[in-house]
Amino acid sequence: MIKPHGSDTLNPRFVYDPERHHELVREAETLPSLLLNSAAAANAVMLGGGYFNPLSGYMNRDDALSVAREMRTQAGLFWPVPIVNLTRDADAIGSARRIALRDPNVEGHPVLAVMDVEAVERLPRAELEEIAREVFRTLDPAHPGVATFLSLGDTLLSGPIEVLNFSYFQTDFPDTFRTAVEIRNEIAERGWERVVAFQTRNPMHRAHEELCRMAMERLGADGLVIHMLLGKLKKGDIPAPVRDACIRKMVELYFPKNSVMVTGYGFDMLYAGPREAVLHAVFRQNMGATHLIVGRDHAGVGDYYGAFDAQEIFDKEVPKGALEIEIFKADHTAWSKKLGRVVMMREAPDHTPEDFILLSGTKVREMLSQGIAPPPEFTRPEVAQILMDYYRSQAGA
């Protein structure tokens, strides 16, 4: 099986030993507490699940700046996006060097992790903006990732953490949320060697389905892991339970049995385009995938990134040998009226736009909200029904 990133074995920060776990829970109640923001809590969940291997905790100022500027930590580890714990106010913890991190996304703010505080540093606005500019390639406050990052605060707490639970992800999505440890174990149990990962934050329409099928066939893959983001998105995106239902129905009806794992991970979307695509590759390698599908405008939003920037970064900026996972570069896929099937548009040079069934996201949402199913060449009817039900429920809310 493919090795994790940066180490020979996966080293999740979740405390699996029952005795140690119980000991930490008791200790946490005696420690000064910091209420995390959602971004820092999501980082803790990813560290706990082994997705951010080999990191042991939150980065300090020097590492955060180094990663933003050069995609490497000070020690030389390849890493594409700073993994930080920023806060607006650290006064409550005083000079404590061991603290409890509390979950902002669960009622009662239970302890999510225990942290050894190695440094508390103030980042000037210029450095925060530099990090944002390098990661998001813009400082436009209308960019949802920029807006979120620059609102987190200017006090940076760094140090290793021990994670005690997986926030709301394990309880709200018991059939879907999986750690990198669990996915890696299931891949091994299934005997899969070549494994394709597909990232999604949306329901999968027909073109996504066929893209996964193309990748599996062309790579000779043993299996596919559909890996959906379960954390916070921007306003207007389809909620995770609806996406989950759509994807499961599609897999149940249209893929061979036992060829697909439907899973999810607990992270908030960054909308960082190319940099986030590389982060996606890192943690898919950690979960055991050998290939990641990267399509047009992967992890993008609006018009901030070129259509294929998220593919080009792997050729232009990721050093050779930095990652073992390979990228399956995909073009926009759509139903060809000429051929009667879904094709990659670059592989149909004799086609004009009129030869494809192309619907904008806005148009599809309008149709669904009006109870009109998109054509079956665009969306499987069973998936369209789930989406229509959701939009009707929203209209009546």
By annotation, the residues acting in catalysis are 201-202
Residues contacting residue 257 through CB under 8 Å, at least 6 positions apart? none
CA distance 276 to 269: 9
Match 């006064």 to its residue by tokens: 91
Cα separation values, 22 from 13, 27, 47, 121, 169, Å: 15, 9, 19, 31, 21
CA distance 322 to 281: 11
Closest C-alpha to 263, from 212, 221, 299, 229 = 229
Closest C-alpha to 78, from 286, 264, 229 = 286
**Collapsed DSSP state (helix, strand, coil) of residue 205:** coil
CA distance 341 to 380: 13
Closest C-alpha to 240, from 227, 251, 228 = 228
Four-CA torsion 292, 294, 295, 299, nearest 10 degrees? 120
**Collapsed DSSP state (helix, strand, coil) of residue 272:** coil
Q: Are strands 291-294 and 195-200 parallel, antiparallel or unpaired?
A: parallel
**Sign (positive or negative) of CA dihedral 90, 94, 95, 99:** negative
Query: Distance between terminal CA atoms of the chain?
Result: 48
8 A C-beta contact, residue 157 and residue 60: no
CA distance 115 to 41: 12
Q: Report the DSSP beta bridge partners of residue 2.
A: none
CA distance 380 to 372: 13
Give the number of other CB atoms < 10 A from CB of residue 271.
22
